[in-house]
A = this chain, B = another copy of it.
């Protein structure tokens, strides 16, 4: 399960050491951690990381298979997590030490910056292969953070981007050695901790106003 730690001005949210799929309990735990980060005051920034082979594999399809009647509510909760991370009143950096797939990849895009391991692990949107179309909210989020060419390739071909490919495609901001992933993310976060506050929240909210509207359209989250 996710854990939250703090080093000086940087909160470290570790998503776990498994596949870190979005089980309802996992989502509740992430949101509780974000409550703590948000309610803190003064200079601060967030690094979201994980331990092991995966950053996150996204939606918990196994749980969803046995709780189909909660699909609408579940997707609404996932959309709200994306919207929340996208507009946190502090700088956020995703440290991608391992595979970052599907909704896990989208969660990484909701952060301000991404640092990826250069030599192993993939960033991938496999939806076209596993026959789960992106919701309109997911589509809006991805398109708001990637160039048209990259968004199109990533979304229609399920291409797996290694660290260097992801850097060249501007999916991530840095690609570094395995042992530098978390450190680099923390350095970026520390350097921006003084930005925390209402101004930054307003800037992000206006930047992504239309994405937020789509993610928060709870009438038809699956549409």
- Partner-B contacts on A (CB < 8 A): 91, 112-113, 127-129, 131-136, 139, 143-149, 151-153, 155-158, 170, 173, 192, 195, 197, 199-200, 202-204, 206-207, 209
Cβ–Cβ contact B207 & A157, under 8 A: no
Number of copies of this protein chain within its complex:
3
With A149-B170, A173-B149 in contact, do A133 and B202 touch (Cβ < 8 Å)? yes
Q: Which residues of B contact A173 (CB under 8 A)?
A: 149, 153
Cβ–Cβ contact B134 & A203, under 8 A: yes
**Could you name 29 residue pairs across A and B whose Cβ atoms are closer than 8 Å?**
A91-B156, A112-B152, A127-B203, A128-B203, A129-B195, A131-B199, A133-B199, A133-B202, A133-B203, A133-B206, A134-B203, A136-B206, A136-B209, A139-B206, A139-B207, A144-B148, A145-B148, A145-B152, A146-B148, A147-B147, A147-B148, A147-B149, A149-B170, A153-B173, A155-B207, A156-B200, A156-B204, A157-B195, A158-B195
Q: Which residues of B contact A147 (CB under 8 A)?
A: 147-149, 170
Residue of B nearest to A191 (CB): B157
- Complex Cα distance, B218 from A151, in Å, reads 28
User: Closest CB of chain B to A174's CB: distance in Å?
Assistant: 12
Q: Which residues of B contact A203 (CB under 8 A)?
A: 127-128, 133-134, 139, 155-156
Q: Which residues of B contact A170 (CB under 8 A)?
A: 147, 149
User: Closest CB of chain B to A176's CB: distance in Å?
Assistant: 17
Residue of B nearest to A192 (CB): B157
- Complex Cα distance, B127 from A112, in Å, reads 16
- Complex Cα distance, B151 from A204, in Å, reads 11
Known contacts A129-B195, A139-B203; 4 further A-B pairs (Cβ under 8 A): A128-B200, A139-B206, A139-B207, A156-B203
